[in-house]
């Protein structure tokens, strides 16, 4: 008797009518994440904050104006006049004011601190690039991980249905006494395994959705890519090429260079403790029955202490701290150690960046070969189970053998799906390591994977 199995494969079907949420492609998801993610806003404001450091240090080299004053009302109750006519009692109010303008003429430490702050601002730009590219990579991982999880749920659901059908078929035969107990128990075990795999796939999908929602703050579904997208080779086809590109554009390495320069200027600034500081000063002191100190004791003592007093002073102030114990020497030594440490940190950062680029390039090459092999395996497994389906329909093979091949086909599909995810993320990791993961990269990957366009990567 001929037996027919009605198994819905529909591997690449995506039923839009059953989806309540909107569907976003890769580019749209990145844009939503940029608009909605607090993480992205944080790195932007962090950059703005760090960029203010040069302006803060520049203020130490620009003119400063200080204004101060006081008004005092005094009333001596026992009023009397002494022989010389001075008042020894009654009201004796006073007003004191001081306007000071200071212009640094020579401040070696302030100048070097400004240069250090400028290098720190340059580091902040590179650190922003690092954080921005990591943000793009994290959102990309969440997007493609959800796409992988959705497809794995589909494949596991098909596998579960086929195992359920196989179990029902063998159970009927076993009860009728026409099936071997070993075959029946094997099929039952396979069904429970498929059931567990499906439950695990569903959990992974829920976790993946939550991870993406952390960036987008919505529940949009993602547009899936086909498992037959065109495999591409990185535009630079050698490890050396990617290592050289990384040393030219890696934000982590460039940032370490700016940190080293900043520490060098900090060291030079520490030497300023042994150098003089020269300021040009202008002081004006309006007052009544009181006067502010203008910085020159001889001049201050010559001013009257009663009546209207308006004093003006300008001059050059030089201070030179010749000796301040061991503090200045210790700070200088610490700054020297910090500079040497930053120099070796820069070297290590460069080596790590080169090694990461080499690893990422080799990883992409490895996954490319695995995908090519798995696609052949999927095609061969599909032919095998279709042939055995014909034999089963003709009654020349058992349902157990047929479903073993069908299960193998689904396992190859899941393995291919996981490997393609690794390949895509490896590609993005290579770009991130080299410092060239940008919004244009996102658009190129969207056109390549989702729209099937031939783009140059």
- The per-residue pLDDT for 4 is 38
Q: Phi/psi of residue 2, each to 5°?
A: -80, 140
Q: Over its length of 457 residues, how does the chain's per-residue pLDDT go in tens digits? A: 334 333 334 433 334 334 457 889 999 999 999 999 999 999 999 999 999 999 999 999 999 999 987 777 766 555 555 555 555 556 667 788 889 999 999 999 999 999 999 999 999 999 999 999 999 999 999 999 999 999 999 999 999 998 898 888 888 888 888 777 888 888 889 899 999 999 999 999 999 999 999 999 999 999 999 888 999 988 888 999 999 999 999 999 999 999 999 999 999 999 988 889 999 999 888 877 777 676 666 666 666 667 677 778 888 988 888 776 667 888 899 999 999 999 999 999 999 999 999 999 999 999 999 999 999 999 999 999 889 888 878 878 777 788 888 889 999 999 999 999 999 999 999 999 999 999 999 999 999 999 999 888 7
What's 16-36+107-275+325-450's CATH class? mainly alpha
C-alpha span between 298 and 310 (Å, rounded)? 16
Length of the chain: 457
Contacts of 363 (CB under 8 A, 6+ apart): 422, 426, 429, 430
The three state secondary structure string of 234-252 is: CCCCCHHHHHHHHHHHCHH
Which ranges of 271-326 would DSSP assign to H, the alpha helix? 297-302
Place of tokens 């590179």: 126
Integer CA distances (angstroms), 248 to 243, 319, 350, 361, in order? 9, 45, 10, 17
Strand partners, 68: 98
Q: How many CB atoms lie within 10 A of CB 419?
A: 20
How far is it, in rounded angstroms, from Cα 456 to Cα 237? Answer: 13
63-106+277-319 folds as Outer membrane efflux proteins (OEP) (2.20.200)
- pTM (2 d.p.): 0.84
Bridging pattern class, strands 90-91 and 308-319: unpaired
Task: Give me the residue label for tokens 């703005």.
Answer: 48
Task: Tell me which residue has tokens 């026992």.
Answer: 78
The CA distance from 203 to 224, in Å, is 19
CA dihedral 214, 220, 223, 224 (to 10 degrees): 60
- On whether the CB atoms of residues 246 and 434 are closer than 8 A, the answer is yes
d(CA 334, CA 406): 69
C-beta of residue 57 within 8 angstroms of C-beta of residue 117: yes
Residue 122's alpha-carbon distances to 45, 53, 114, in angstroms, are: 15, 11, 12
What is each CA distance from 229 to 226, 422, 430, 445, in whole angstroms? Answer: 6, 14, 19, 11
What number of helices (H) and strands (E) belong to the chain? 11, 8
341 close to 267: Cβ distance less than 8 angstroms: no
Strand-pairing partners, residue 96, are 70, 287
Contact call for residues 382 and 413 (beta carbons, < 8 A): no
Distance CA(211)–CA(205), nearest Å, equals 10
Q: Do the bridges between strand 221-222 and strand 90-91 make them parallel or antiparallel, or are there none, so unpaired?
A: unpaired
DSSP tag of 364? H
* Distance between CA atoms of residues 457 and 448, nearest Å: 9
Decide: helix, strand or coil at residue 116.
helix
| Spatial contact of 67 and 282, defined as CB atoms under 8 Å apart | no
pLDDT of res. 89: 58
Domain regions of the chain by residue span: 16-36+107-275+325-450, 63-106+277-319
User: How many CA atoms lie less than 13 Å away from 73 in the CB half-sphere?
Assistant: 0
Contacts of 103 (CB under 8 A, 6+ apart): 62, 63, 64, 279, 280, 281
Phi, psi of 89 (to 5 degrees): -160, 175
């Amino acid at each position: 008797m001929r037996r027919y199995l009605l198994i819905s494969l529909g591997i690449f079907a995506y039923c839009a009518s059953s989806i309540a949420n909107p569907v976003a492609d890769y580019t749209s998801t990145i844009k939503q994440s940029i608009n909605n993610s607090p993480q992205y806003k944080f790195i932007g404001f962090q950059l703005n904050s760090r960029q203010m450091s040069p302006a803060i240090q520049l203020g130490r080299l620009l003119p400063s104006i200080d204004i101060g004053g006081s008004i005092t009302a005094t009333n001596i109750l026992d009023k009397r006049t002494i022989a010389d006519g001075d008042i020894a009692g009654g009201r004796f109010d006073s007003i004191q004011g001081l306007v000071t303008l200071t212009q640094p003429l020579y401040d070696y430490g302030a100048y070097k601190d400004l240069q250090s702050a400028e290098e720190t601002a340059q580091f902040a730009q590179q650190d922003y690039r690092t954080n921005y590219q990591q943000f793009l990579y994290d959102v990309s991982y969440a997007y493609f991980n959800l796409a992988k999880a959705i497809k794995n749920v589909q494949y596991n659901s098909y596998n579960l249905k086929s195992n359920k059908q196989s179990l029902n078929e063998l159970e009927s035969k076993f009860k009728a006494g026409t099936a071997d107990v070993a075959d029946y128990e094997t099929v039952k075990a396979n069904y429970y395994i498929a059931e567990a795999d499906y439950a695990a796939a569903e959990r992974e999908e829920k976790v993946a959705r939550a991870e993406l929602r952390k960036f987008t703050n919505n529940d949009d579904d993602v547009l899936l890519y086909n498992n037959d997208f065109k495999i591409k080779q990185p535009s630079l086809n050698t490890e050396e090429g990617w290592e050289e590109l990384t040393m030219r554009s890696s934000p982590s390495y460039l940032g370490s260079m700016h940190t080293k320069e900043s520490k060098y200027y900090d060291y030079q600034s520490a030497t300023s403790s042994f150098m003089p500081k020269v300021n040009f000063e202008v002081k004006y002191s309006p007052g009544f029955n009181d006067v502010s100190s203008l910085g020159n004791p001889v001049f201050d003592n010559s001013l009257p202490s009663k009546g209207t007093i308006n004093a003006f002073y300008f001059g050059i102030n030089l201070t030179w701290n010749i000796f301040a114990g061991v503090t200045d020497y210790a700070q200088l030594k610490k700054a020297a150690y910090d500079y040497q440490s930053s120099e070796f940190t820069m070297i290590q950062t460069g080596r790590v960046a080169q090694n990461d680029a080499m690893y990422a390039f080799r990883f992409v090459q490895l996954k490319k070969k695995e995908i090519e092999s798995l696609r052949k395996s999927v095609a061969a497994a599909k032919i095998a189970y279709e042939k055995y389906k014909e034999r089963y329909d003709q009654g020349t093979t058992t349902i157990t053998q047929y479903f073993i091949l069908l299960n193998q086909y689904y396992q190859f599909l899941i393995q291919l799906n996981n490997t393609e995810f690794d390949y895509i993320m490896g590609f993005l990791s290579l770009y991130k390591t080299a410092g060239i993961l940008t919004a244009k990269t996102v658009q190129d990957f969207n056109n390549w994977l989702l729209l099937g366009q031939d783009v140059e990567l």
